[in-house]
Amino acid sequence: MPFQFICPHCFDKKWVDDAYAGQRGPCANCGRMITLPTRTDSTGKGPLPSPPEPSPSSPQTPVAWSRRKQMWISAGLGSVLFGVLAVSMIFLQPGFKSMKRQRDLVGCRNNAQKIALALQAYCDTHGTYPPPVINDSTGKPLYSWRVLLLPFLGHKDLAADFNYAEPWDSAQNMSLVTRMPAVFASPASPDARSIGEANYVLITGSGTLFPPTGPLSSKDVSDPTDQTLLVVEVRNGGQSWTQPGDIDVAKLKFQINAAGKDSVGGNHQGGAVVATVDGKSAILPERLAGSTFRALITPSGGEVLNDGEWIR
């Protein structure tokens, strides 16, 4: 016949089946080890009184103090919690993806802005922006403008290890590929940094800031500086960050996020990250008109654009 027991640790009161009298196990409420009394009272003079008959409105169920039962209950609760977590992850997954896309976009804009500011710092020091490609005395391409930017990005040690007398693919310079500064890799392109491929390039050629006659200065820009592109983001192009390789305006696809080479964007949905001569970043929308795109590239085209024409 069931008898009543009070846990000495948590003072939880339970009705215990007579079959478990004298046994030891964890309290069902607090989990601490307890020993159930025998069917005699604390004086040992007689049996404990039987519990009152439960009323129909408040039935009392005897509690079985069994490790196996508790394991079943724990396993059941664990399965329920796992199921709830799995369902929650299914519903939250789109939200997580959206948060990552937004975080990657912010990180990419920060990178583009840092590069633009470093380009301007180089310009202030040397009188012009860096040449897109550094050639040797015979005209052979050696390395990219990104190498010249290292001291202005806080990477003086890396700049000191680079051999400026040799091309980008010499043994010494190739050993530095995996040390590419994080600022050259878009957060939306997770493999870029590990393989040393940059996601930020210049637009070069006639009518740009980097014409065949040599790089211009910010002082040569007569268009609004916040409407003149300085650096743009692209997909990984299979080129080392030290290797020369930008976009020739003559080959440029004037469509944001267009497939293939010589296009701007490709890392973010709906637009591409750029930075302007004033050192600020922006997002060019996919709907951007080709004529507006051309106007943003020219430093002295005389175009005046509304923000709605070109900023997402």
pLDDT digits (tens, 9 = 90+) for 240-260: 999 999 999 999 999 999 998
Is there a domain that residue 40 lies in? no
**Domain for residue 130, yes or no?**
yes
Asked, for residue 51, whether it belongs to a domain, the answer is no
Whether residue 173 lies inside any domain: the answer is yes
Q: Count Cβ atoms below 10 Å from residue 293 Cβ, excluding itself.
A: 19
- Per-residue pLDDT at 54: 46
pTM, whole model, 2 decimals?
Answer: 0.71
- Domain containing residue 234: 111-310
Domains: count for the chain = 1
Is residue 106 included in any domain, yes or no?
no
C-alpha to C-alpha distance for 245 and 71, rounded to whole angstroms: 64
242 within domain boundaries: yes
Contact (CB, 8 A) for 15 and 60: yes
Q: How confident is the model at residue 50 (pLDDT cuts 50, 70, 90)?
A: very low
Q: pLDDT grade, residue 77 (50/70/90)? A: low
22-31, 187-196, 250-259: which has the minimum mean pLDDT? 22-31
H-type alpha helices, the chain: 67-126, 145-149, 156-161, 171-174, 192-195, 290-297, 307-310
How large is the average pLDDT for residues 294-303? 96
Does residue 278 form part of some domain? yes
Residue 262 lies in a domain: yes
The two three-digit tokens of residue 204, written as one number: 């070069």
pLDDT above 90 covers a percentage of the chain that reads: 62
What percentage of residues in the chain have a pLDDT greater than 70? 76
Give me the pLDDT at residue 189, please.
87
